[in-house]
Amino acid sequence: MSRRAPLSENKKAERKLGWLLCAPAALVMVLVTAYPIIYSVWLSLQRFDLRFPDQREFIGLENYVTVLTNEFWWTAFGVTMLITVVTVAVELVLGMGLALVMHRTLVGRGIVRTAALIPYGIVTVVAAFSWRYAWTPGTGYLANLFDGSAPLTERASSLAIIMLAEIWKTTPFMALLLMAGLALVPEDLLKAASTDGATAWQRFTKVMLPVMKPAILVALLFRTLDAFRVFDNIFVLTNGGNETSSVSMLAYNNLIRGLNLGIGSTMSVLIFITVAIIAFVFVKLFGTAAPGSDDGERR
Amino acid sequence: MADTTTRAKLRWGLIDVIVVVFALVPVLWIASLSFKTPATLTDGKFWPREWTLDNYKTIFDTDQFVRALVNSIGIALIATLIAVVLSAMAAYAISRLDFPGKRLLVGVSLLIAMFPQVSLVSPLFEIERQLGLFDTWPGLILPYITFALPLAIYTLSAFFKQIPWDLEKAAKMDGATQGQAFRRVIAPLAAPGLFTTAILVFIFCWNDFLFAITLTSTERARTVPVALSFFTGESQFEDPTGAICAAAVVITIPIIAFVLFFQRRIVSGLTSGAVKG
């Protein structure tokens, strides 16, 4: 307030610098996502099979009809939804537990946190191979527990193992996001509740959960969208066999194995729309809980 | 009183052990498999009965793995470097400067963080083929930078907001420009945040499988996770399990090292970027 006069010059310089500094990051992000997704819409309106490039032509929404009336698509969609809902629900519970352990343990806090970061950091494909061999009859320590049957050759058990692998890998990430929320819970409040005779469960539901709500919503949103993209684990564990393909697997198969760019792009667009709807519902339901949404108000 | 704390400690200790075991078993298992001899590989025991380093010798003798390792390291390092530089610039602007369009940038990076990567696979495949970027390092580096940027910008903005900015003011009063203040005063203070961000971005690039498998077709740019998945398909006559496990252990080593040495930084980086407000 005291330096109003010389500020306009400074202000201009500040704006310019701000734009200059943000331009490269913004440019890369927009170029590598916005342009391809628009291009993808264009491709999805064409018959475009790389094995028969001569037959390339504009066919309107025919690809969408093909995909949306295809039972493989809906099976994959169902599998993806199932995996998303189950893993996110389980991870919310386990992640909350892990967050509490990492935050409140009296001994070995460093060790627990270090151990928890290993699933987060490890390459998904590596972890997937570990689970695959664990469940391979003969080789695996887990398969032998179950009378040497081959769980990865049956649909239900394959899906269970895919979900187990997903949960193992991403629970720590969920826990870390939740721990950020736990750190916001005032210690005094917990002590006060405790002296007032609140049980551990009451302290958790009445004191911690309300404070943590924004963190929980952020964690749920990010994990849901992330879970919907499930690909690596399925690729390694079952390669989509026995109807365990996710929508990502299906899009990959149409593109790389089928070389059908038109259908592949149609699936890309459909997945994009689905994710957009999920994100929209979350944001609508939970308002301004998303990170960064408060940024403008701070100053 | 002393008795209850001992019991509480014991209880927490027990819970700790469960967490650690649950986190480590799959990693120990694949390491154990990598040390097993072909004869004992299928014995189903958790620990090897006979130890061997042959699997490691095998993979380092094959061009397939060594090339993939070089690709993985090179691509991840370059992508990390560029992403950190770009995000540092943007995060500085977001946390320090006042300019129109700031909220838009934050919004865009949030959208990118939620973007389904598989939606880009088909169009990028075609675009990169036309541009000659398909199956090259830049062809992978570009999407990696893009998807690392939101995380990097959030983490760094959070770090930058904690820096004592009065020092910057002091430097400017002494006649430094905004740019000089950034380079001379703030950048050194920001180094720990930059380092943490670099680790997170590196882990992200190192981890990627989807882009690596769709945007490459030969050893030119194929990274280790993809090479691993191809070990399986090709050799039907020779069991590739030992080799796969050895290669898997090799690419897990950097992750373990990061986690062991920089646990605090990684945790603070991930949690600070997550909840702001």
**CATH code assigned at B133:** 1.10.3720.10
pLDDT at residue B234 in the model: 46
Q: What is the pLDDT of residue B159?
A: 87
pLDDT at residue A2 in the model? 47
* Domain limits for position A193: 62-292
Looking at the domain assignment, is residue A47 inside a domain?
Answer: no
Are B39 and B96 part of one and the same domain? no
High-pLDDT (> 70) share of chain B, % = 95
Question: What pLDDT, on the 0 to 100 scale, is given for residue A290?
Answer: 46
Chain B residues closer than 8 Å to A277 by CB = none
Domain shared by B31 and B162, yes or no:
no
Q: Region B252-262: what's the mean pLDDT?
A: 94
**Beta-carbon separation of A19 and B92 below 8 A:** no
pLDDT at B171 (0 to 100): 86
Contact B13 A291 (CB under 8 A): no
**Are residues B45 and B68 located together in one domain of the fold?**
no
Query: Is residue A27 one of the residues assigned to a domain?
Result: no
Instruction: Say if A127 falls within a structural domain.
Output: yes
Q: Which residues numbered 195-214 in A keep a CB inside 8 Å of some CB on B?
A: 214
Tokens of A22: 């943000």
Residues B98 and B153 in one domain: yes
| Optimal mutation site among B7, B11, B15, B19, interface A, most CBs of chain A within 10 A | B19
Of A28, A131, A292, the CB nearest to B154: A292
C-alpha distance from A153 to closest chain B C-alpha (Å) = 17
Of residues B145, B151, B100, B158, the one with CA closest to residue A30: B145
A37 interfaces chain B, CB cutoff of 8 Å: yes
pLDDT score at B237: 56
Q: Are the beta carbons of A223 and B90 closer than 8 angstroms? A: no
- pLDDT category of residue B236 using cuts at 50, 70 and 90: low
- Assigned domain for A38 exists: no
Residues B42, B122, single domain; the answer is no
Q: Are residues B38 and B81 in the same domain?
A: no
What pLDDT does A145 receive?
78
Nearest chain A residue to B253 by CA: give it.
A122
Residue B17 has a pLDDT of: 94
pLDDT value at residue A259: 87
In a domain, A172, yes or no: yes
- In this prediction the pTM is 0.90
As a whole number, mean pLDDT of residues A149-166 equals 90
Report yes or no: A118 at the B interface, CB cutoff 8 Å.
yes
Q: Does A262 touch chain B (CB under 8 A)?
A: no
Could you tell me if B2 and B110 lie in one domain?
Answer: no
Q: What is the pLDDT of residues B83-98, one digit of tens each?
A: 999 999 999 899 888 8
What is the domain count for chain A? 1
Nearest residue in A to B8, CA atom: A106
Which residues of chain A make contact with B100, given a CB cutoff of 8 A?
15
Give the residue on B whose Cα is nearest the Cα of A172: B23
- A5 shares contact with chain B (CB less than 8 Å): no
User: Residue B239 above 60 pLDDT?
Assistant: yes
Range B272-277 average pLDDT: 52
pLDDT at residue B140, as a whole number = 96
How much is the pLDDT for B173?
A: 87
Domain count for chain B:
2
The whole-number average pLDDT for the span B245-254 is 95
Residue B233 or B169, more confident: B169
Same domain, B139 and B230: yes
The nearest alpha carbon in chain A to B9 belongs to A106
pLDDT exceeds cutoff 80 at B187: no
Q: Are residues B116 and B248 in the same domain?
A: yes
A224-244 pLDDT tens trace: 999 999 999 999 999 988 889
- What b/e string do you get for A133-149 counting C-beta neighbours within 10 Å, with b at 16 or more? bbbbbebbbbbbeeeee
Confidence at B233, pLDDT banded by 50, 70, 90: very low
A window 215-234, beta carbon within 8 A of B: 215, 218-219, 221-222, 225, 228-229, 231-232
The answer on B39 and B98 residing in a single domain is: no
> Are B16 and A236 a contacting pair at CB < 8 A?
no
Q: Which range marks the domain in which residue B43 is found?
A: 1-52
Please indicate, yes or no, whether residues B172 and B219 belong to a single structural domain of this protein.
Answer: yes
Q: Residue A95: give its domain's CATH number.
A: 1.10.3720.10
> B218 is written with which tokens?
């030969």
> Domain boundary residue among B52, B79, B94?
B52
User: Residue A295: is its pLDDT beyond 50?
Assistant: no
pLDDT, one tens digit per residue, over B105-140 is 888 888 888 888 888 888 899 899 999 999 999 999
A94 pLDDT more than 80: yes
* Predicted local distance difference test score (pLDDT) of residue A294: 42
CB contact under 8 A, B23 and A119: yes
> Do B171 and B188 belong together in one domain?
yes
Q: Is A139 in Cβ contact with B9 (below 8 Å)?
A: no
Q: Residues B23-35: pLDDT tens digits?
A: 999 999 999 999 9
